[in-house]
Amino acid sequence: IKKHFRKYHIAVGNLLLLEYGNGQKEAFLTARTTNGRCITSKEAAELMGQVVDDSRWSPAKDSRSIITKQYATIRLLEDGGYRMLYGASRIPRQGEKYSGDNYTFCESQGSQVVMSLSDGMGSGKAAGEESRTVIELLEQFAESGLKMDTALKMINSVLVIGADEESFATLDMCYIDMYSGMAEFIKTGAAATFVIRDGKAKAIRSSSLPIGMLKYFDMDKSEYKLKKNDIILMLTDGAAEVIDRDGMSDMILTELMENNKMKDPKDIADYVLESLKERSGFRIQDDMTVVAARVWTDCR
């Protein structure tokens, strides 16, 4: 690495190269330019890709953006082979101005992303504030790199201890490693999540209670290896009940998606929500939210 960088007028002093359990590498380079010019950390990442196993690298979000003639440390991460796009669609309960549902897509440390959906108790503004509290805390903990199990226990404690009145919300979360493509689904009282592959829907269900209901709570976990063109669909109770009434949600979603050629997750979320509204006879008896994500892979 040092020899290769030297060819491009970059002197590397200290170098730390790490490899994690999923195979992803991370590099810390203390470097400076030797020709009096500056180079971006993005260009340095391209040089790393040329010398380390024909890999791809990117500057970490918290890394310095430029290498100058003064020694400074930059942080580079090996890119994963997976990418995702996200979209959402929602409508409040009939007669309500505010939805009690909230969702987020956020990045954790490394190549981890978190996709989550929360449904507050009841509907309207108060329910929305409950679910917003859960989502905002989850975002903060995810961005700090806290383990998800620990984060959920802390969120549960906030809801149990901090509220004057009973306060709880469902939480549907998908924690995705964009390097390996492994997805961990964590659910507390949430409706089924669906992975759509080759037009067929597979349900991931939960029997746990909502977060904030009890001092000690359980969460249901399951892992899934994602593949190119997989679609992840999360639904809140209001949307899920429309297709769960006859216990045929897998079949109904398969029928909806098997001939669907849409690529944009926002279009997919809109399409599913409109289909559910039509199926309910346009009687929106609870807040309805659909969150969609689509997976694709890089060709190396």
Q: Provide Rg for the chain, Cα atoms.
A: 22
**Residue 201 to residues 153, 204, 249, Cα–Cα distance (Å):** 31, 10, 9
Contact 15, 1 (CB under 8 A): yes
Residue 173 CB contacts under 8 Å (≥ 6 apart), including other chains: 114, 115, 116, 117, 138, 148, 185, 186, 187
For 106, phi then psi, to 5°, come to -145, 160
Contact 176, 115 (CB under 8 A): yes
Instruction: Provide the pLDDT for residue 234.
Output: 95
Instruction: Provide the pLDDT for residue 40.
Output: 96
Instruction: Provide the pLDDT for residue 300.
Output: 46
Instruction: Provide the pLDDT for residue 2.
Output: 94
Q: Using the Cα atoms of residue 30, residue 34, residue 36 and residue 42 in order, give the sign of their dihedral.
A: negative
Q: What is the pLDDT of residues 2-44, one digit of tens each?
A: 999 999 999 999 999 999 888 889 999 999 999 989 999 999 9
Full 3-state SS string of 174-219:
EEEECCCCEEEEEEECCCCEEEEECCEEEEECCCCCCECCCCCCCC
Q: What is the pLDDT of residues 109-132, one digit of tens each?
A: 667 899 999 998 877 888 898 899
Instruction: Provide the pLDDT for residue 27.
Output: 95
Residue 214 CB contacts under 8 Å (≥ 6 apart), including other chains: 160
Cα 224 from Cα 196, distance rounded (Å): 12
Residue ranges of the chain whose pLDDT lies below 50:
299-300
Cα 93 from Cα 285, distance rounded (Å): 6
Cα 197 from Cα 199, distance rounded (Å): 5
Cα 243 from Cα 225, distance rounded (Å): 26
Q: Which of 77, 73, 154 is nearest to 111 (CA)?
A: 77
**Type of residue numbered 129:** E
